[in-house]
Amino acid sequence: MGLEKLKTILKNPISGNCLELRTPIIGASGTYGYESEFEDFIDLNCLGAVSTKGITLEKRPGNSGERLFEVQNGLINRIGLENIGINRFIAEKLPILESKNIDFLLNIAGSTEKDYETLALIANENKIKALEVNVSCPNVKQGCLEFGLNPEGLFKLIKLIRKNYEGFLIVKLSPNTTDIKPLASAVEKAGADCISAINTVRGLGVKINYNSNKFIKKCVSGGLSGGCIKPIALYMASEIKRVAKIPLIAIGGIATLEDLFEFIYVGADAFQIGSANFVNPSICSKLAQELNQFMIENNFSGFEELKKAIKE
Ligand SMILES: Cc1cc2nc3c(=O)[nH]c(=O)nc-3n(C[C@H](O)[C@H](O)[C@H](O)COP(=O)(O)O)c2cc1C
């Protein structure tokens, strides 16, 4: 089925910078691997892009022990940014992505400003079209989220990245704050082209198995994702849109066509699908096809027209 109606252009109205996506459906970082892992399950043409697993300067083994904990309608993870590091990504994964024509956002994370600056430079040198800066991972001891919760620090960091990277710059925000608006304003003022939100919500999974007076306990503290965080993601999206003019990629508990409509209503221009991939690995192509079918049946000529109708 042709998906021409789903073509999406994310445009920064301030700088004019654009990112063209085949569809507004993007595989979320950490749930899609590095590149073509999902090829067997989905038609990659249905995807606007894949956001790579978070890449750091040096490779990271991630956290030891239990990393995933299922909760009601959600998942807690404490992967701790396990990844192969930027040099191996560029040498081994980038050629595959390019040869297969898979559009991607390079998701990066760092412990220091210098880390982010170097990663931005490497991305620029390698002509990577879009960068998603993760300043919102709750599962690492140093950096990352520390930058993402302080508007002044975030402004400085994004300005530094902007200076070193010419492509489409997306900043991924954290919901672990009382007010997301100053963070959204800071990244827009610093020159970001787009905001993606939300990363996971801090949570604690507790399980107690009991056998009369014996209690066997398991506790996993990490980032909560999936259907249970959707209301938080909707709220954060609507707050971001109160202050930011740059486009918004909505993330958080998205799994159905109705979810897409709800996020459009609060201001989303595109979507990332995370935990739902673990339930149904072909969810992204299913959503793209359902959205396309809906637009055909209801005579919408393009995604912009649909967005306008939902927001009216
Ligand atoms: C197992 C797992 C690993 C993740 N790793 C990353 C990561 O490396 N970088 C990042 O920016 N977000 C990461 N995330 C967060 C997701 O990209 C997404 O923001 C979050 O899960 C909310 O979306 P969802 O409710 O659709 O899962 C990870 C999430 C999960 C579940």
- CATH number of the domain encompassing residue 295: 3.20.20.70
In a domain, 42, yes or no: yes
| Mean pLDDT value across residues 95-116 | 93
The answer to whether 137 is a known catalytic residue is yes
pLDDT of residue 300: 97
> Which residues form ligand 1's pocket by a CB distance below 6 Å?
28-31, 53-54, 75, 77, 79, 81, 107, 134, 137, 172, 199-200, 225-226, 229, 251-254, 273-276
In a domain, 209, yes or no: no
Query: What spacing in Å lies between the alpha carbon of 92 and ligand 1's midpoint?
Result: 23
Q: Domain limits at 303? A: 4-64+80-202+224-311
Beta partners for 171?
A: 133, 195
pLDDT of residue 42: 81
Residue appearing with tokens 């297969």: 100
Contact 145, 138 (CB under 8 A): yes
CA–CA gap between residue 277 and residue 28 (Å, rounded): 9
Number of domains in the chain: 1
Query: What spacing in Å lies between the alpha carbon of 176 and ligand 1's midpoint?
Result: 14
Q: Tens digit of pLDDT for each residue in 259-287?
A: 999 999 999 999 999 999 999 999 999 99
In a domain, 71, yes or no: no
pLDDT of residue 70: 96
Contact 223, 201 (CB under 8 A): yes
Q: Tens digit of pLDDT for each residue in 181-192?
A: 999 999 999 999
Q: Is residue 45 pLDDT above 90, yes or no? A: no
Q: Is residue 34 pLDDT above 90, yes or no? A: no
In a domain, 121, yes or no: yes
Of 137, 144, 228, 284, which residue is the catalytic one?
Answer: 137
In a domain, 212, yes or no: no
pLDDT of residue 142: 65
Take atom 10 of ligand 1 and give the residue whose Cα is closest: 29
- Percent of the chain at pLDDT exceeding 90: 87
In a domain, 208, yes or no: no
Q: Tens digit of pLDDT for each residue in 138-163?
A: 766 666 677 889 999 999 999 999 99
In a domain, 185, yes or no: yes
In a domain, 69, yes or no: no
CA–CA gap between residue 123 and residue 117 (Å, rounded): 10
